[in-house]
Amino acid sequence: MDTERIDRIIDKYQSKSDYLIQVLLDIQSEYHWLPKSALQRVGEKLRVPMSRIQHIATFYKAFSLVPRGRHEVHVCLGTACHVRGATRVLDSMQDLTGIHPGETDLELKFSLETVNCLGCCALGPVVEIDGKTHGNVKTADTADILDQYE
């Protein structure tokens, strides 16, 4: 962990504990997870107990205490996507990446998650990668979609 990078993030918020969640979000964005050493540094600089930081880091799904892939893949399994074949799309994503939902590949390239709805039901099945929505996905499309994220 680069202490200077963490300090720059904290300094951006004037080292105010009111911005704890935003500081953690920025660290998560930078590293794709929250390393323990980063959390300790945040606690020192913001004068916030580790118990509070740990509570926040484990409460919000946006945070991860284990390394995540550079690309976060979300496969929607909501009703509209499900009836249009989302489970087959998920199976294909699992086969191509070698991981299951909740896992990250060994190269830290992809993390795979399922979600219940991405809010674009008319486009189902939907896969979202790094915030970009891919709609009307068929199993034959999954390799081409993942190839965009090399």
Query: Which tokens go with 7?
Result: 């300090």
* 142 shares a domain with 76: yes
The whole-model pTM stands at: 0.79
The answer, yes or no, to whether residue 20 has pLDDT greater than 90, is yes
Question: If DSSP codes are grouped into helix, strand and coil, which group holds residue 118?
Answer: coil
Residue 99: give its domain's CATH number: 3.40.30.10
* 87 shares a domain with 32: no
Range of the domain at 45: 3-59
Single out the residue in 59, 85, 100 at which a domain terminates: 59
* 81 shares a domain with 47: no
Model pLDDT, residue 61: 81
Percentage of residues of the chain with pLDDT beyond 70: 99
Model pLDDT, residue 150: 78
Per-residue pLDDT tens for 59-107? 988 899 999 999 999 999 999 999 999 999 999 999 999 999 999 999 9
CA proximity to 44, closest of 88, 98, 6, 89: 6
Are residues 71 and 107 in contact, defined by beta-carbon separation less than 8 angstroms?
A: no
Q: How many CB atoms lie within 10 A of CB 145?
A: 18
Model pLDDT, residue 1: 67
The whole-chain average pLDDT of the chain stands at 94
Model pLDDT, residue 62: 83
Model pLDDT, residue 15: 83
